[in-house]
Amino acid sequence: MDRPRIIVDFNELIEDDLILLSQRDYKVDSSGESIELFEGKQVYIYESDEDINGDPGFLVADGIVEKYNMINRPSPCKWTCRIDSNGIRRIVL
């Protein structure tokens, strides 16, 4: 990958550009560093992804941490990530 990223599950998109991020105030990124989450923090997210031929890769996105708005959306999640205008991209290894 191009930089350390926080693992997510892109099946947990709750809007086209909003994904559930964490129940806690810290996440460990792909380099093993503990990342503190707070409103407005820029984060880099990823998920492992194999293509149709089984070749490895990653889905990646960049975004800003937002406090989870639980109105009409029950979830134990505290933090979400608002994905920027570059959207979700695939990186091939």
Give the global pTM: 0.89
Distance CA 11, CA 35 (A): 22
Estimate the share of the chain in helix, then strand, then coil, as percent rounded to the nearest 5.
5, 45, 50
CA atoms within 13 A on the CB side of 61: 23
Is the distance from CB of 75 to CB of 68 less than 8 angstroms? yes
pLDDT tens track for 11-68: 999 999 999 999 999 999 999 999 999 999 999 999 999 888 888 999 999 999 999 8
Distance CA 63, CA 84 (A): 5
Does residue 72 have a pLDDT over 70?
A: no
Domain ranges of the chain: 6-92
